[in-house]
Amino acid sequence: MASLRAHLLAWIVRRQVKRRLSGVTDVRQVRRVFDSAAFPDPPGIAFRPGEVGGIAGEWAERQGLAAAAPRLLYLHGGGFVACSARTHRPLIGGLARQGFRIFTPNYRLAPEDPFPAALDDAAAAWADFAAEGPAVLAGESAGGNLALALLLRLRDAGGRLPAAAAAFSPATDLLGGSPSLTENAGREAMLSVESFPLLQRAYLGGHDPADPLVSPLHGDLRGLPPILLHVGEREILRDDSVRFAARAREAGVTVALTVWPVVPHAWQFASSFLPEARRSLAEAGAFLEGHLAAARERASALR
Q: pLDDT (tens digit, 9 = 90+) per residue, 87-137?
A: 999 999 999 999 999 999 999 999 999 999 999 999 999 999 999 999 999
Give percent of the chain with pLDDT exceeding 90: 84
Looking at residue 203, what is its pLDDT? Answer: 98
Comparing CA positions, the residue from 142, 156, 171, 160 lying closest to residue 75 is: 142
Looking at residue 151, what is its pLDDT? Answer: 98
What single DSSP character describes residue 42? P
What's the pLDDT band for 216 if we cut at 50, 70, 90?
very high
CB-based contacts of 254, cutoff 8 Å, min separation 6: 225, 226, 227
Tell me the range of 14-18, 87-91, 299-303 where mean pLDDT is highest: 87-91
Tell me the pLDDT tens digit for each residue of 253-276: 999 999 999 999 999 999 999 999
Among 1-10, 113-122, 229-238, the least confident range: 1-10
Comparing CA positions, the residue from 267, 256, 243 lying closest to residue 188 is: 267
Spell out where the chain has E strands. 45-52, 55-62, 71-75, 101-105, 136-140, 165-168, 227-232, 255-260
Looking at residue 66, what is its pLDDT? Answer: 82
Mean pLDDT (the chain) is: 95
CA distance 169 to 167: 6
pLDDT at 67 over 90: no
pLDDT at 301 over 80: no
Give percent of the chain with pLDDT exceeding 70: 99
Are 145 and 216 a contacting pair, CB within 8 Å? yes
pLDDT at 303 over 70: no
CB-based contacts of 150, cutoff 8 Å, min separation 6: 75, 119, 122, 123, 126, 137
Among 12-26, 122-136, 205-219, the least confident range: 12-26
Are 80 and 108 a contacting pair, CB within 8 Å? no
CA distance 156 to 170: 21
Class of domain 4-301 (CATH, top level): alpha beta
Looking at residue 21, what is its pLDDT? Answer: 86
- The catalytic residues are 141, 235, 265
Looking at residue 296, what is its pLDDT? Answer: 82
What's the pLDDT band for 150 if we cut at 50, 70, 90?
very high
For the entire predicted model, the pTM comes to: 0.97
Looking at residue 68, what is its pLDDT? Answer: 84
List the chain domain ranges.
4-301
Looking at residue 194, what is its pLDDT? Answer: 85
